[in-house]
Amino acid sequence: MSEIRELALRCRDASRAVAALRTEDRDAMLRAMADALLADAPAILAANAQDLDAARDKGVAAAMLDRLRLDDARLAGVADALREVAALPDPVGQVTRRETRPNGIVVERVRTPLGVVAMIYEARPNVTADAAALCLKAGNGVILRGGSEAIRSNQAIATALHRALEAAGVPAAALTIVEDLRRETMVELLQLTDIVDLAIPRGGEGLIRFVAEHARVPVIKHYKGVCHLYVHADADQDLALRLLVDGKVSRPSACNALETLLVHADVAGVFLPRAAQALRAHGVELRGDAAARALVPGMGEATVEDYDAEYLDLVIAVRVVDSLEAALDHIRRHGSDHTEVIATRDSAVAEAFVQALRSAVVMVNASSRFSDGGELGLGAEIGISTTRLHAYGPMGLEALTVERFVVRGEGQTRNIHG
Amino acid sequence: MSEIRELALRCRDASRAVAALRTEDRDAMLRAMADALLADAPAILAANAQDLDAARDKGVAAAMLDRLRLDDARLAGVADALREVAALPDPVGQVTRRETRPNGIVVERVRTPLGVVAMIYEARPNVTADAAALCLKAGNGVILRGGSEAIRSNQAIATALHRALEAAGVPAAALTIVEDLRRETMVELLQLTDIVDLAIPRGGEGLIRFVAEHARVPVIKHYKGVCHLYVHADADQDLALRLLVDGKVSRPSACNALETLLVHADVAGVFLPRAAQALRAHGVELRGDAAARALVPGMGEATVEDYDAEYLDLVIAVRVVDSLEAALDHIRRHGSDHTEVIATRDSAVAEAFVQALRSAVVMVNASSRFSDGGELGLGAEIGISTTRLHAYGPMGLEALTVERFVVRGEGQTRNIHG
């Protein structure tokens, strides 16, 4: 048996111990994980410093170094996040429906852990602890395959977390760090269809496409977030401007940041110059179609690539549309099924926008930046799905469980009686 | 562009018209589909007669010929099933949760169609109409790739159903029959990840493994149902006997039929002879371990293969176990995550059985034959999933939808205000 298969089997066996913990014991284990992280801070930060040195030597880009870097404040933030996960309601065992059938059998739908979740991600040590906590909270085993640049940090974090697991009577294998970081080993992990119940890739589009292409286990993913704001003719323009600025500039690197602004022709003449002024004050570059450029001096030209782009940067594509239908057509052609926003005063127009689009999150008069598990009330977020199966949009703890059937009877039979 | 890709794209475009229908119009379309089937009965039965002739010439087995055969009564049954689907509650647009967040945004979870569902199945023309009705009812487009032996029947059925679609203003492409039945075309269909949202294979294990192996789109499936009945030491033996006989003999070819009987050693001496007598009266062959054979003269020997077998026939494997834990170990080793049953009077033992197993359906004192969408209250069944994602166990209309987020605000922003 290959080493990765053996690791995965051990994780699956250990996951049964996680699922069997009472809620209060599982929550106590998560709090102990937070304590262990802080207790091991010196060792974790020392390992992280080694990772950072090696990454610098390799010439890794500054943005990636920043995501890799831990310090006391960041570690405290991770520990706080673990305590927040501990405090969330336990999804395991929740009875979502109960029905007594005419023959007297009682049918319940009960949330149960998925089993084993494989997280595939880049060099972000905070994800190691976050994702582990969410998977364990939902009663699962977790296999963590992070980026090679973070391997020492991840090992040090796992060493700390494993103490908390073992104190709770859970085998350390329930939280398994993959140390063999060869691509072919990851591919083998992604093809363990009899062991791994779900793979969640998090990171750049290249990583996600690699996982989607090679996985034979189910994958929940999103490639990118090309989020639109459509400003209808009747929109409150101050409101629309707030949504635009918040959506574009508050965190341009987030997948729920706005990438394209669509403005109804009837208000473009008034709205676009204001929008350009407000965005430029935040350093945003605008790229528009001919109609938009005619209204805003100095605006660059938008190509088709611009309308498909997830800039993740202070750039926005702009287009003037003649109607709601034209806005919907644009979103259908260029959207990524992530998050779309309409600004309008007309509830019928809003409803038409909501119904016509199939995106995971559709917003009326609210910022695209609310497209986030915490903001939408999920308590935490393990990822975002634009796969229209199981979970669609931000995924919280419930998305790490599945509903099964529990039936209780008094000897009822279907066809043969007596 | 390949022909199958073009067909799938047309189906996706047409699916928007299905999703956009009001509930009453979609239901009327389904009733019109039932009427059209009956109106076209002569043409459908003539096409079916041609399929049967060709299948006989090919030397197709009798059981398959029976599944392929339509007659007036069977066609009436299919039409009735379509009317029953029409009468089910509409899952599309159901608001499953609504929450007002502290900042005042209102977050709804709303059921929305999956999009395009590809059904891959064998030569069963009734599935063509059934599966189409369920997918359309849930607002989806459907691509039907049935067995080649049923192609004329499927085409005749589709001709009838298309009239009902077009009368409702829905393009016929929303219900697409694949007429190019080459394997490579099926593989291409199963890899249209940007168009097909879900593939559901139905049929023998070979077909399902082929689909699972080649698909890149999400697949929901179950390979087989190795369902267990465990008779605990304290079970009401008359009750256990009823569950055993109903589970094994009422429809041995069904995936929810019992395949293995586990009996606690304390009651095996009394129960097994009774069980053998009752089962043999129905023509069932028993194959047991040494302990079971010692109690039942003439019982054949069970091998490991027997304990893994889905007989789909009048055969049952038997094993005597020393404890609940031994029964659980057996099920964990040999089960298929489909359906398991315990007969016991002790609610604590029942609860331990339910909690320890991860099967899709776990029953206490009720027949495994209730593991069926209709019997469990889903109204209808598109398939059964032992994939622990999205749906687990019998799948009804809800499993053909996904929940998305609809957010309504009054201009709220996340980080940048005013």
Q: What is the DSSP track for A32-66? A: HHHHHHHHTHHHHHHHHHHHHHHHHHHT--HHHHH
Q: pLDDT value at position B26?
A: 98
Region A258-275: what's the mean pLDDT? 98
Q: Do B90 and B178 share a domain, yes or no?
A: yes
For an interface test with B, give the residue of A15, A390, A398 to mutate (most B CBs within 10 A).
A390
The domain containing residue B327 runs over which residues? 227-370
- Which residues of B, range 364-383, sit inside 8 Å of A by Cβ? 364-367, 369-371, 375-377
Using a CB–CB cutoff of 8 Å, tell me whether B414 touches chain A: yes
Q: What is the pLDDT of residue A15?
A: 97
Which residues on chain B are in Cβ contact (under 8 Å) with A362? 404-407
The helix or strand, by DSSP H or E, that contains position A210, with its residue range, turns out to be helix A205-214
Nearest CB among B390, B394, B409 relative to A364 is that of B409
**DSSP letter, residue A95:** E
For residue B414, give the DSSP letter: S
- The answer to whether A354 faces chain B, any CB pair under 8 Å, is yes
* Residue B126 belongs to some domain of the structure: yes
Helix (H, G, I), strand (E, B) or coil at A352: helix
The alpha carbon of residue B363 is apart from the nearest alpha carbon of chain A, in Å, by 5
- How buried is residue B200: exposed, middle or buried, by Cβ count under 10 Å (0-12/13-18/19+)? buried
* Beta strand residue intervals within B137-226, DSSP E: 141-145, 175-177, 198-202
Is A392 in CB contact (< 8 Å) with chain B? yes
Res B255: pLDDT: 93
Closest residue of chain B to A417, computed from CA coordinates: B242
Interface touch B414/A365, C-beta < 8 Å: no
Which of A212, A43, A228, A137 lies closest to B193 in space, CA to CA? A212
Model pLDDT for residues A7-64, shown as the tens digit of each residue = 999 999 999 999 999 999 999 999 999 999 999 999 999 999 999 999 999 999 998 9
> What residues of B are in contact with residue A361 (Cβ under 8 Å)?
404-407
Q: Buried (b) or exposed (e) across B88-101, using 16+ Cβ within 10 A?
A: bebbbeeeeeeeeb
Which tens digits make up the pLDDT trace of B322-359? 999 999 999 999 999 999 999 999 999 999 999 999 99
Distance CA A266, CA A326 (A): 13
How many beta carbons lie within 10 A of that of residue B53, not counting itself? 11
At B10, is the pLDDT very low, low, confident or very high (cuts 50, 70, 90)? very high
Cα three-residue angle A370-A375-A377, rounded to 5 degrees? 135
- Which chain A residues contact residue B359 at CB under 8 A? 404
Which of B390, B401, B403 is the mutation pick for testing A, counting most A CBs within 10 A? B390
Size of interface A-B (CB pairs under 8 A): 228
Distance, in angstroms, between B238 CA and closest chain A CA? 9
Q: How far is the alpha carbon of A96 from chain B, nearest alpha carbon, in Å?
A: 11
The answer to the question of residue B383 being in a domain is no
pLDDT at residue A149, rounded to an integer: 97
Both A170 and A314 in one domain: the answer is no
Provide the b/e sequence for B353-389 (b: ≥16 CB within 10 Å).
bbbbbbbbbbbbbbbbbbbbbebbbbbbbbbbbbbbb
Provide the percentage of residues in chain B whose pLDDT is more than 90. Answer: 96
Does B199 lie in the same domain as B142? yes
Nearest to A363 among B360, B392, B407 (CB): B407
A323 touches chain B (CB under 8 A): no
pLDDT of A402 strictly over 80: yes
Do the Cβ atoms of B414 and A371 come within 8 Å? Answer: no
Please list the alpha-helical segments (H only) found in B117-182. Answer: 125-137, 151-167
Residue B414 CA: distances (Å) to CA of A46, A240, A260, B157, B257: 35, 14, 18, 53, 54
A141 touches chain B (CB under 8 A): no
Residue A418 has pLDDT above 70, yes or no: no
A96 and A118 assigned to the same domain: yes
Looking at the structure, tell me whether residues B305 and B214 fall in a common domain. no
Question: Within 13 Å, how many C-alpha atoms sit on residue A93's CB side?
Answer: 14
Mutation for A interface: B100, B112, B363, B414, most A CBs within 10 A: B414
Residue B414 counted as domain residue: no
CB within 8 Å: A360 and B405: yes
Residue A132 tokens, joined: 């582990």
Which CATH number fits the domain that encloses residue A267? 3.40.309.10
Residues B204 and B334 in one domain: no
Q: What is the CATH number of the domain that holds A68?
A: 3.40.605.10
Q: Which of residues 167-226 of A touch B (CB under 8 A)?
A: 193, 197-198, 212-213, 216, 218, 220
User: pLDDT tens digits, residue range B136-149?
Assistant: 999 999 999 999 99
Q: Which residue of A337, A340, A400, A402 is the best one to mutate when testing the B interface, meaning the one whose CB has the most B CBs within 10 A?
A: A402
Counting every residue written for chain A, the total comes to 418
The beta-carbon neighbor of A416 closest among B245, B360, B411 is B245
pLDDT tens readout for residues B33-63: 999 999 999 999 999 999 999 999 999 999 8
CB contact under 8 Å between B404 and A363, yes or no, is no
pLDDT(B13) > 70: yes
Domain identity same for A127 and A266: no
Question: Are residues B236 and B157 located together in one domain of the fold?
Answer: no
Tell me: pLDDT of B386 over 70: yes
Per residue in B78-123, pLDDT (tens digit) is: 999 999 999 999 999 999 999 999 999 999 999 999 999 999 999 9
Residues A53 and A85 in one domain: yes
Average pLDDT over residues A106-132: 96
Pairing of strands A383-389, A391-395: antiparallel
Number of structural domains found in chain B: 2
Rounded CA gap, B223 and B242, in Å?
A: 27
Mean pLDDT of B297-323: 97
Q: Do B417 and A218 touch (CB under 8 A)?
A: no
* pLDDT of B418 strictly over 70: no
How many Cα atoms are found within 13 Å in the side-chain-facing hemisphere of B83?
11
> What pLDDT score was predicted for residue A63?
87
Residues in B closer than 8 angstroms to A375, CB to CB, are 101, 414
Among the partner-chain residues B212, B216, B392, the one whose CB lies closest to the CB of A402 is B392
- Residue among B364, B402, B406 minimizing CB distance to A407: B364
CA dihedral B334, B336, B338, B344 (to 10 degrees): 10
For residue B286 the two structure tokens come to: 């028993």
| pLDDT tens column, B259-287 | 999 999 999 999 999 999 999 999 999 99
- Residue pair A156/A47 in contact by the 8 Å Cβ criterion: yes
Q: Select from A367, A389, A402 the Cβ nearest to the Cβ of B413.
A: A367
Q: Is B386 within 8 Å of A114 (Cβ atoms)?
A: no
Mutating which of B109, B196, B358 best tests the A interface, going by the most A Cβ atoms within 10 A? B358
Higher pLDDT, residue B362 or B418: B362
Task: Give just the sign of the alpha carbon dihedral A64, A219, A190, B194.
Answer: negative
Determine which of B22, B109, B364, B404 to mutate to test the interface with A (most A C-beta atoms within 10 Å).
Answer: B404
Please list, in sequence order, all residues whose beta carbon lies within 8 angstroms of the beta carbon of residue A225, skipping any fewer than 6 positions away. Answer: A254, A255, A256, A257, A259, A310, A336, A338, A339, A371, A384
User: Does B408 sit within 8 Å of A363, measured CB to CB?
Assistant: yes
| DSSP element (H, E) containing B408 | strand B401-412
Beta-bridge partner residues of A389:
A391
How confident is the prediction for chain A on average, in pLDDT?
96
pLDDT of residue B183: 96
Cα–Cα nearest to B140, from B373, B401, B385: B401
B417–A375 C-beta distance less than 8 A: no
Distance (Å, whole) CA A235 – CA B410: 11
Residues 2-41 of chain B with CB under 8 A from chain A are 19-20
Reference B164, options B155, B174, B154; nearest CA is B174
* Residue A383 resides in a domain: no
Q: Is the pLDDT of residue A120 over 90?
A: yes
In a domain, B15, yes or no: yes
* Closest-CA distance of chain B to residue A127, Å: 23
Task: Provide the 10 A C-beta neighbour count for residue B63.
Answer: 9
CB contact under 8 A, A414 and B364: no
Chain A residues 245-284 within an 8 A CB cutoff of chain B: 245-246, 249-251
Q: What is the mean pLDDT of residues B62-89?
A: 95
Cα three-residue angle B335-B341-B346, rounded to 5 degrees: 130
Chain A: give the shortest CA distance to residue B386, in Å: 10
Domain assignment of residue B162, yes or no:
yes
CA A400 centroid distance within chain: 12
Q: Please, which residues bridge with residue B317 across strands?
A: B260, B287
Q: Are residues B202 and B340 in the same domain?
A: no
Residue B295: closest CA among B316, B324, B266, B323:
B266
**What is the spatial distance between Cα B278 and Cα B285, in angstroms, rounded to a whole number?**
11
Average of per-residue pLDDT values in chain B:
96
Average pLDDT over residues A304-327: 97
Q: Is the pLDDT of residue A268 over 70?
A: yes
| Min Cα separation A158/chain B (Å) | 27
Residues of B in contact with A392 (CB under 8 A): 112, 402-405
Q: How far is CA A82 from CA A69, A79, A129, in A?
A: 19, 5, 8
Nearest C-alpha neighbor of A7 from the set A139, A186, A215, A152: A186
**Do B156 and B204 have their domain in common?**
yes
Does A46 share its domain with A64?
A: yes
A162 located within any domain: yes
DSSP code at position A323: S
Which of the four pLDDT bands, split at 50, 70 and 90, describes residue A133?
A: very high
For A149-206, the pLDDT digits (tens) are: 999 999 999 999 999 999 999 999 999 999 999 999 999 999 999 999 999 999 888 9
**According to the model, what pLDDT value does residue A167 have?**
98
Could you tell me if residue A106 is inside a domain? yes
Q: Do A405 and B360 touch (CB under 8 A)?
A: yes
Q: What number is the average pLDDT over the span A374-400?
A: 94
Q: What is the DSSP string of A144-206?
A: EE--GGGHHHHHHHHHHHHHHHHHTT--GGGEEE-----HHHHHHHTT-TTT--EEEEES-HH
Residues from chain A that touch B412, judged by Cβ atoms under 8 A, are 365-367, 370
